[in-house]
Amino acid sequence: MRLAIETATDRASVALGSSAGDTVERELPGARRHAAGLLPMIEALLREAGVTLDAVTGLVLSDGPGSFTGLRVGAAVAKALVQARGLPLWTAPSLLVRAAGVAREGRTVLAVTDALRGEVYAAAYRFEADRIHQSLAPSVYHAERLVAGPRAPDLLVGQVSDSAAAMLEAWAGVRIIGPPDGAPHARILLDLVHRPGGAVRVEAVQDWEPNYGRPAEAQARWETAHGRPLPDSIGSSG
Protein backbone atom coordinates (compact mmCIF):
# COMPACT_ATOMS: atom_id res chain seq x y z
CA MET A 1 0.00 0.00 0.00
CA ARG A 2 1.05 3.60 -0.61
CA LEU A 3 1.12 6.62 1.69
CA ALA A 4 -0.25 9.83 0.13
CA ILE A 5 0.54 13.29 1.52
CA GLU A 6 -1.25 16.54 0.60
CA THR A 7 0.05 19.76 2.20
CA ALA A 8 -0.45 22.39 -0.51
CA THR A 9 -3.30 24.17 1.29
CA ASP A 10 -4.33 25.10 4.83
CA ARG A 11 -6.01 21.68 5.14
CA ALA A 12 -3.37 18.96 5.19
CA SER A 13 -4.37 15.35 4.60
CA VAL A 14 -2.75 11.94 4.50
CA ALA A 15 -4.12 8.68 3.11
CA LEU A 16 -3.06 5.06 3.12
CA GLY A 17 -4.21 2.46 0.62
CA SER A 18 -4.00 1.18 -2.93
CA SER A 19 -6.70 3.41 -4.43
CA ALA A 20 -9.05 6.25 -3.45
CA GLY A 21 -11.85 3.73 -2.93
CA ASP A 22 -9.76 1.51 -0.65
CA THR A 23 -8.15 3.88 1.81
CA VAL A 24 -7.90 5.32 5.27
CA GLU A 25 -7.58 9.11 5.37
CA ARG A 26 -7.00 11.78 7.99
CA GLU A 27 -7.16 15.56 7.71
CA LEU A 28 -5.67 18.44 9.68
CA PRO A 29 -7.43 21.79 9.11
CA GLY A 30 -5.86 25.13 9.90
CA ALA A 31 -2.99 27.23 8.60
CA ARG A 32 0.52 26.86 10.05
CA ARG A 33 -0.22 23.49 11.69
CA HIS A 34 1.52 21.27 9.12
CA ALA A 35 5.01 21.30 10.66
CA ALA A 36 3.85 20.14 14.08
CA GLY A 37 0.96 17.99 12.95
CA LEU A 38 2.01 16.05 9.86
CA LEU A 39 4.13 13.30 11.45
CA PRO A 40 1.66 12.66 14.34
CA MET A 41 -1.13 12.48 11.76
CA ILE A 42 0.79 9.86 9.76
CA GLU A 43 1.44 7.87 12.94
CA ALA A 44 -2.27 8.02 13.83
CA LEU A 45 -3.17 6.92 10.31
CA LEU A 46 -0.92 3.88 10.54
CA ARG A 47 -2.41 2.95 13.93
CA GLU A 48 -5.92 3.29 12.52
CA ALA A 49 -5.02 0.99 9.63
CA GLY A 50 -3.37 -1.47 12.01
CA VAL A 51 -0.03 -1.42 10.20
CA THR A 52 3.48 -0.02 10.55
CA LEU A 53 5.71 1.82 8.08
CA ASP A 54 6.95 -1.60 6.96
CA ALA A 55 3.64 -2.00 5.11
CA VAL A 56 4.17 1.17 3.04
CA THR A 57 5.57 0.37 -0.42
CA GLY A 58 5.56 3.86 -1.93
CA LEU A 59 4.82 7.55 -1.41
CA VAL A 60 2.61 9.92 -3.40
CA LEU A 61 2.94 13.65 -2.79
CA SER A 62 1.07 16.72 -3.95
CA ASP A 63 3.87 19.02 -5.14
CA GLY A 64 2.21 22.40 -5.61
CA PRO A 65 1.70 25.11 -6.45
CA GLY A 66 0.36 26.23 -3.11
CA SER A 67 1.37 27.14 0.43
CA PHE A 68 5.14 27.65 0.56
CA THR A 69 5.45 26.39 4.15
CA GLY A 70 3.03 23.53 3.63
CA LEU A 71 4.86 22.29 0.54
CA ARG A 72 8.22 22.52 2.32
CA VAL A 73 6.91 20.41 5.20
CA GLY A 74 5.44 17.76 2.90
CA ALA A 75 8.61 17.60 0.81
CA ALA A 76 10.84 17.30 3.88
CA VAL A 77 8.81 14.40 5.28
CA ALA A 78 8.70 12.63 1.90
CA LYS A 79 12.46 13.01 1.37
CA ALA A 80 13.17 11.71 4.86
CA LEU A 81 11.01 8.64 4.28
CA VAL A 82 12.61 7.99 0.89
CA GLN A 83 16.09 8.21 2.39
CA ALA A 84 15.29 6.14 5.47
CA ARG A 85 13.11 3.51 3.81
CA GLY A 86 14.21 3.49 0.17
CA LEU A 87 10.63 4.07 -0.97
CA PRO A 88 9.71 5.20 -4.49
CA LEU A 89 8.11 8.65 -4.76
CA TRP A 90 5.46 9.90 -7.16
CA THR A 91 4.24 13.50 -7.34
CA ALA A 92 1.27 15.28 -8.90
CA PRO A 93 0.32 18.96 -9.10
CA SER A 94 -2.07 20.04 -6.35
CA LEU A 95 -4.31 21.56 -9.04
CA LEU A 96 -4.54 18.16 -10.75
CA VAL A 97 -5.52 16.61 -7.42
CA ARG A 98 -8.34 19.16 -7.09
CA ALA A 99 -9.48 18.52 -10.66
CA ALA A 100 -9.37 14.73 -10.33
CA GLY A 101 -11.56 14.90 -7.23
CA VAL A 102 -14.50 16.27 -9.26
CA ALA A 103 -13.61 14.92 -12.71
CA ARG A 104 -16.12 13.47 -15.15
CA GLU A 105 -15.11 11.52 -18.22
CA GLY A 106 -14.84 13.65 -21.34
CA ARG A 107 -15.06 16.92 -19.41
CA THR A 108 -12.45 19.66 -19.02
CA VAL A 109 -11.85 20.88 -15.47
CA LEU A 110 -10.24 24.23 -14.64
CA ALA A 111 -8.69 24.07 -11.16
CA VAL A 112 -7.83 27.34 -9.41
CA THR A 113 -6.56 28.55 -6.08
CA ASP A 114 -5.65 31.97 -4.70
CA ALA A 115 -2.06 33.06 -5.44
CA LEU A 116 -2.44 36.40 -3.61
CA ARG A 117 -1.47 39.76 -5.16
CA GLY A 118 -4.64 39.68 -7.28
CA GLU A 119 -3.63 36.50 -9.11
CA VAL A 120 -4.58 32.81 -9.13
CA TYR A 121 -2.80 29.52 -9.65
CA ALA A 122 -4.63 27.67 -12.41
CA ALA A 123 -4.42 24.55 -14.57
CA ALA A 124 -6.88 22.75 -16.83
CA TYR A 125 -7.25 19.03 -17.47
CA ARG A 126 -9.49 16.87 -19.64
CA PHE A 127 -10.26 13.45 -18.23
CA GLU A 128 -10.66 10.52 -20.61
CA ALA A 129 -11.04 6.83 -19.79
CA ASP A 130 -7.46 6.03 -20.79
CA ARG A 131 -5.62 9.28 -20.05
CA ILE A 132 -5.59 12.71 -18.42
CA HIS A 133 -4.81 15.49 -20.90
CA GLN A 134 -3.34 18.76 -19.60
CA SER A 135 -4.70 21.70 -21.60
CA LEU A 136 -3.37 24.52 -19.40
CA ALA A 137 -0.11 24.10 -17.50
CA PRO A 138 -0.05 24.96 -13.77
CA SER A 139 1.14 28.55 -13.36
CA VAL A 140 0.23 32.00 -12.04
CA TYR A 141 -2.45 33.84 -14.00
CA HIS A 142 -4.69 36.89 -13.78
CA ALA A 143 -8.35 35.87 -13.89
CA GLU A 144 -8.80 38.27 -16.81
CA ARG A 145 -6.31 36.25 -18.85
CA LEU A 146 -8.11 32.99 -18.11
CA VAL A 147 -11.52 34.27 -19.21
CA ALA A 148 -9.96 35.54 -22.45
CA GLY A 149 -9.16 31.94 -23.36
CA PRO A 150 -10.62 30.33 -26.49
CA ARG A 151 -12.83 27.81 -24.68
CA ALA A 152 -14.52 27.78 -21.31
CA PRO A 153 -14.13 24.66 -19.13
CA ASP A 154 -16.96 22.29 -18.31
CA LEU A 155 -16.21 22.39 -14.58
CA LEU A 156 -14.58 24.85 -12.17
CA VAL A 157 -12.99 23.73 -8.93
CA GLY A 158 -10.98 25.45 -6.23
CA GLN A 159 -10.96 28.42 -3.91
CA VAL A 160 -10.28 32.03 -4.98
CA SER A 161 -11.41 35.53 -4.06
CA ASP A 162 -15.06 36.45 -4.54
CA SER A 163 -14.22 38.77 -7.44
CA ALA A 164 -12.16 36.14 -9.27
CA ALA A 165 -14.81 33.49 -8.63
CA ALA A 166 -17.57 35.74 -10.04
CA MET A 167 -15.52 36.44 -13.17
CA LEU A 168 -14.72 32.76 -13.77
CA GLU A 169 -18.29 31.60 -13.08
CA ALA A 170 -19.77 34.17 -15.49
CA TRP A 171 -17.34 33.00 -18.19
CA ALA A 172 -17.81 29.26 -17.69
CA GLY A 173 -21.53 29.36 -16.91
CA VAL A 174 -21.08 27.02 -13.92
CA ARG A 175 -20.52 27.48 -10.21
CA ILE A 176 -17.09 26.85 -8.79
CA ILE A 177 -16.86 23.72 -6.65
CA GLY A 178 -15.23 24.81 -3.41
CA PRO A 179 -14.13 22.93 -0.29
CA PRO A 180 -14.66 20.37 1.01
CA ASP A 181 -15.41 18.62 -2.31
CA GLY A 182 -13.18 21.05 -4.19
CA ALA A 183 -10.19 20.74 -1.87
CA PRO A 184 -7.19 18.58 -2.83
CA HIS A 185 -7.47 15.33 -0.86
CA ALA A 186 -4.61 12.89 -0.27
CA ARG A 187 -6.79 9.90 -1.20
CA ILE A 188 -7.15 11.23 -4.76
CA LEU A 189 -3.37 11.03 -5.19
CA LEU A 190 -3.53 7.25 -4.89
CA ASP A 191 -5.56 6.95 -8.11
CA LEU A 192 -3.12 9.14 -10.05
CA VAL A 193 -0.21 6.68 -9.80
CA HIS A 194 0.32 4.71 -13.03
CA ARG A 195 -2.48 6.66 -14.74
CA PRO A 196 -1.25 8.24 -18.01
CA GLY A 197 -1.10 11.99 -17.52
CA GLY A 198 -1.31 11.57 -13.75
CA ALA A 199 1.39 11.31 -11.09
CA VAL A 200 5.03 11.05 -12.20
CA ARG A 201 7.87 9.08 -10.64
CA VAL A 202 10.66 11.19 -9.12
CA GLU A 203 14.02 9.54 -9.73
CA ALA A 204 16.53 11.99 -8.17
CA VAL A 205 14.54 12.66 -5.00
CA GLN A 206 17.23 14.55 -3.07
CA ASP A 207 17.58 17.07 -5.91
CA TRP A 208 13.84 17.50 -6.37
CA GLU A 209 11.89 20.51 -5.06
CA PRO A 210 8.14 21.20 -5.10
CA ASN A 211 6.60 23.65 -7.56
CA TYR A 212 6.04 26.59 -5.22
CA GLY A 213 4.56 28.64 -8.04
CA ARG A 214 6.13 31.84 -6.76
CA PRO A 215 8.42 32.94 -3.92
CA ALA A 216 7.34 33.13 -0.30
CA GLU A 217 5.99 36.53 0.75
CA ALA A 218 9.12 37.29 2.79
CA GLN A 219 11.31 36.59 -0.24
CA ALA A 220 9.11 38.73 -2.49
CA ARG A 221 9.33 41.67 -0.07
CA TRP A 222 13.12 41.34 0.15
CA GLU A 223 13.48 41.28 -3.64
CA THR A 224 11.18 44.31 -4.01
CA ALA A 225 13.10 46.26 -1.39
CA HIS A 226 16.52 45.41 -2.86
CA GLY A 227 15.60 45.43 -6.55
CA ARG A 228 17.23 42.08 -7.27
CA PRO A 229 16.60 38.35 -6.79
CA LEU A 230 17.46 36.84 -3.44
CA PRO A 231 20.53 34.58 -3.72
CA ASP A 232 19.49 30.91 -3.98
CA SER A 233 15.87 32.03 -4.35
CA ILE A 234 13.06 29.52 -4.75
CA GLY A 235 10.15 29.95 -7.12
CA SER A 236 9.56 32.52 -9.79
CA SER A 237 8.54 36.08 -9.19
CA GLY A 238 5.46 35.72 -11.41
Do 37 and 53 share a structural domain? yes
For the chain, give the longest Cα–Cα distance. 54
Q: Is residue 228, in this structure, part of any structural domain at all? A: no
The CATH number for 173's domain is 3.30.420.200
Do 81 and 115 share a structural domain? no
Give tens-digit pLDDT for 177-236: 999 999 999 999 999 999 999 999 999 999 999 988 765 555 555 455 656 655 655 554
Do 135 and 106 share a structural domain? yes
Give tens-digit pLDDT for 59-98: 999 999 988 889 999 999 999 999 999 999 999 999 999 9
Do 72 and 155 share a structural domain? no
Do 170 and 199 share a structural domain? no
pTM score, whole prediction: 0.87
Structural domains of the chain, count: 2
Nearest one of 34, 28, 113, 27 to 70, comparing CA atoms: 34
By residue range, what is the domain housing residue 110? 95-177
Looking at the DSSP bridge assignments, the partners of residue 200 are 91
C-alpha distance from residue 117 to each of 29, 82, 137, 191, 217 (Å):
24, 35, 20, 33, 10
Radius of gyration of the chain (CA): 18
Q: What is the pLDDT of residue 224?
A: 59
Do 168 and 117 share a structural domain? yes
